[in-house]
Structure 1
Amino acid sequence: MYKIYFQHLNKKIPLTKVEEELIKSHLAFKKLRKKQYLLQEGDECKYTAFVEKGVLRSYSVDGNGGEHIVQFAIEGWFISDLYSLFSGEPAIYNIDAIEDAELVLISKSANDALLQQCPKYQTLMLEIITNAYIALQRRLNAIPHLTVEERYQKFIQQYPAIAKRVPQHMIASYLGITPETLSRVRRRITNGK
């Protein structure tokens, strides 16, 4: 329990045993079964989750029932509805498990306490949030500037572990295309090689 979480943190900034114990005292552990929700749209998001095992996705559902995936999270990644977490407003995303999952949860109040009590934790969170913002900015920039084929190839190159574990229709949703379009793209790429 918490093994991957602390490996992840210690890669960024080495923690002392005392700092690890302080952080651990603010964490909770949760298991999700495949298709089980961590968060449903409309509920208040109370945690940021770190994935120890499994795959999760964050998505919204449009008026026609279409899913729009905004994030996948595998081992070593964080996932949350940050707007809801920090504002207290209802969540705009659903988060559920694509595979059985084991999660490390940290509440907003625990996060706030650690930011005050542990300077290294503050540095870690700043780095994590900065990296997430950069990834989001790159993704938003790719949408109008890359072809569908280029976006798919970039996804496969950047996230090979996700591509192997997530159904194709979910990759299509993440890319903002239909599963049929993704099938045509994959066929063109395969035939072009």
Structure 2
Amino acid sequence: MQQKLIDFIRSRHPLSVVDEDLIFQYFEPVLFPKNRIIEEAGKVPEYLYYIISGYLRLFHYNENGDEVTTHINCPPGFFTSYFHFVNTAKSHENVECITECELLRITKADLDTLTSKSGAMKDFSIGIFQQSIAYNENRSAELATLSGEKRYAKLIENYPGILHNVPITYIASFLGMKPESLSRIRRKLIL
């Protein structure tokens, strides 16, 4: 499984044989069943995950006790509650496997060791965290400025597999709307 991560990194950044050996050493392969919470709210996230296959989401409960999905990730890519992982702070969000997930994981201590031993991995990690910040800023802007219909169309255009793997209730929550509103939008787009 580590070879898939190496190929992903190599497509964006050059790696030496030593870098590859470090990736094999520090990233642990794991398999989780669907609907498993792998990081709990109220705790410091233990791991940064690289998704080989499967779908994950970040969610929390609002003041009414309703689940609010704040992020859904499609493979491949990295996933965790980034701010809390990087700052070793308690997260208010859960990380849940929506589907069965094949993942690689690394602890914060091991990531720090890896990036201190490998300049390539340090540069790559900085790039990933910068992408995460840019993604979150863009997502906030889209939630504030795009209509629900445009948010849905953009999601489906960028991640067409999401409809076949993620329940509509999670997608609606992620898009900032009620499931009924998303159903109306989907019916309108089909007609």
* Contact 2:59 2:71 survives alignment (8 Å): yes
Shift of 1:3: 2.8
Aligned twin of 2:80: 80
Aligned twin of 1:148: 148
1:106 pairs with 2:106: yes
Secondary structure of 1:160 counterpart: coil
Secondary structure of 1:142 counterpart: helix
Aligned twin of 2:136: 136
Secondary structure of 2:90 counterpart: coil
Percent identity over the alignment? 26
Aligned twin of 1:34: 34
Aligned partner letter, 2:29: F
Aligned partner letter, 1:95: V
Shift of 1:103: 1.0
**Structure 1 range deviating more: 180-189 or 159-168:** 159-168
Aligned twin of 1:96: 96
The separation in 1 between residues aligned to 2:189 and 2:73, in whole angstroms, is 26
Aligned twin of 1:18: 18
Secondary structure of 2:161 counterpart: helix
Secondary structure of 2:11 counterpart: helix
Aligned partner letter, 2:85: L
* Contact 2:38 2:97 survives alignment (8 Å): yes
The separation in 1 between residues aligned to 2:3 and 2:59, in whole angstroms, is 28
Shift of 1:43: 1.7
The separation in 1 between residues aligned to 2:18 and 2:24, in whole angstroms, is 10
Deviations 1:1-30 (A, max 9, x none): 223211111111121222100222112122
Deviations 1:65-95 (A, max 9, x none): 2111111122211111123223332211101
1:160 pairs with 2:168: no
Deviations 1:101-126 (A, max 9, x none): 11111111111112211111011112
User: 1:181-192 counterparts in 2 under 5 A?
Assistant: 181-191=181-191
Secondary structure of 1:12 counterpart: coil
Deviations 1:114-145 (A, max 9, x none): 22111110111121112222211111111121
The separation in 2 between residues aligned to 1:177 and 1:71, in whole angstroms, is 14
Runs of 5+ unmatched residues, structure 2: none
CA RMSD, Structure 1 to Structure 2 (Å): 1.3
Runs of 5+ unmatched residues, structure 1: none
TM-score (norm 1): 0.93
Aligned partner letter, 2:21: E
Shift of 1:163: 2.9
Deviations 1:24-69 (A, max 9, x none): 2112122111111110111221110111121111111113221111
Secondary structure of 1:6 counterpart: helix
The separation in 1 between residues aligned to 2:174 and 2:153, in whole angstroms, is 13
* Contact 1:2 1:52 survives alignment (8 Å): no
